[in-house]
A = this chain, B = another copy of it.
Amino acid sequence: MPLLPLGPFPSDAGYATAVALDEADPLRCFRAEFATPDPNLIYLDGNSLGRLPNATIDRLAGVVADEWGDELIRSWPNRWWDLADKVGGQIAPLIGAAADDVIVTDSTSVVLFKLIMGALQIRQGPKQIVTDDLNFPTDLYVADGVARLLGDTEVTVVNTERADPTEAVVAAIDSTTTLVTLSHVAFKSGYLYDMERITSAAHDAGALVLWDLSHSVGVVPIDLRGCAADMAAGCTYKYLNGGPGSPAFLYVAPSLQLDNPLSGWWGHRDPFAFTGEYEPDASIRRFQTGTMPILSLSAIEPSVALVRKAGVVAIRRKSTALTEFFIELCDRLLEPLGFLLASPRDPNRRGSHVSLQHADGWRITQALIDQGQVIPDFRAPDNIRFGFAPLYTSFVDVHTTALRIVELLAAGIPLQYSAGRGSVS
């Protein structure tokens, strides 16, 4: 969808453009697939917790009443045993992977541990992990935790403040590098790494690459096989709309023979033989550990189906148009009010959320949320994140958000919002 030129500002402040963009939006019918109990609320935190698909309501009611309540233990062999494999296979085409190479298991943090520890264990001698200061904190905590356990491992956190992050990381990779681990889209700024360039540079140096796709899966086209990426992890509760804390997915290239350091019965090649010896499954299933939380796992399937139906290429096209439109509104309406764009201006280097810095960022975020009109989120010290989920965010939503911020600052931020901070990744 080409971005239409905005109308003259500030006469309609771009409203006609927003309406025209919505009318031309091929994904606009997807909005009705999500529960919207408050139609006046503009929800721009789908990059933290995606909205509830209507189909998920029925699916969960069925899992509870029929599969658990009625079928009881019989649902294990009949429905649940392969569910994590099945959902992994459904996520696979969204990340350019074969169905057999993806599985759903545990939290993103635990999955990162399995992959980082697994990757370092196949290398001899001193090890070096290269990551960056844009990475989500838990990725850094896990890398540090693995380094503490192994003892001979150094973690290098690349400073990205003074150069393009892709170039800064490439410059930091050398023959001492064992593993490069990055968030594909940075949680705070929305910076989108050049996956192909980083992966290729790492391989040239003999290193492995692990991508955290939490902020890109379902909204940015990803081609793990095309880039020859080694490993990937990601959460399912942001643009995949899998529900609060729904379990993470994991990808390992089929050519990479990694062990799961968290050996448990669900990764055993024959769990119900109940043997005392651990024999890992040959398939990606070896990265399972314990019993999966079936209610949370079941919620992922209907929402992934929606993303697949819309198609990631169409989603990305709309995502780019949404963020471009928001940035243009920011330039015209918000920049004069002290907001600073903290996300890349180049759409090819930007995910689906836009961060604005403002000295009163926390107070502005809280006031918007408490007025029940717009929900963005806040990242310390001064970042307001606006997440655009193309399946349910409209261009009029974007336009209204900008105007509500203008109105809030014109009226003055209510005094009750003093200092503080809050909220979830």
Contact = CB atoms under 8 A, between A and B. Distances in A.
B65 A35 contact: yes
Contacts of A262: 109-110, 113, 142, 145
A418 B15 CA distance: 71
Given A64-B56, A74-B375, A290-B106, A422 B272 contact: yes
Interface in A148-162: 148-149, 157
Interface stretch (A21-29, A170-178, A218-226, A244-252): A244-252
Interface size class on chain A is: 35 or more
B80 A64 contact: no
A311 B334 CA distance: 60
A58 to B, nearest CB: 10
A380 B60 contact: no
Contacts of A112: 264
Contact of A296 (B35, B273, B276, B293): B293
Interface string A51-70: 11000110011001101111
A262 B375 CA distance: 32
Interface in A41-94: 43, 45, 48-49, 51-52, 56-57, 60-61, 64-65, 67-70, 72-77, 80-81
B70 A38 contact: yes
Total copies of this chain within the assembly: 2
A110 B273 contact: no
A17 to B, nearest CB: 27
B60 A72 contact: no
Contacts of A70: 35, 37-38
Contacts of A145: 261-264, 278
A57 B45 CA distance: 28
Given A61-B61, A110-B262, A264-B141, A243 B295 contact: yes
B380 A274 contact: yes
Contacts of A292: 107, 245
A58 B307 CA distance: 29
Given A113-B264, A141-B263, A244-B295, 20 more contacts: A35-B65, A35-B69, A43-B72, A49-B68, A51-B69, A56-B64, A57-B64, A109-B266, A110-B110, A113-B289, A117-B149, A137-B268, A145-B261, A145-B278, A149-B149, A245-B294, A272-B424, A293-B297, A295-B296, A295-B299
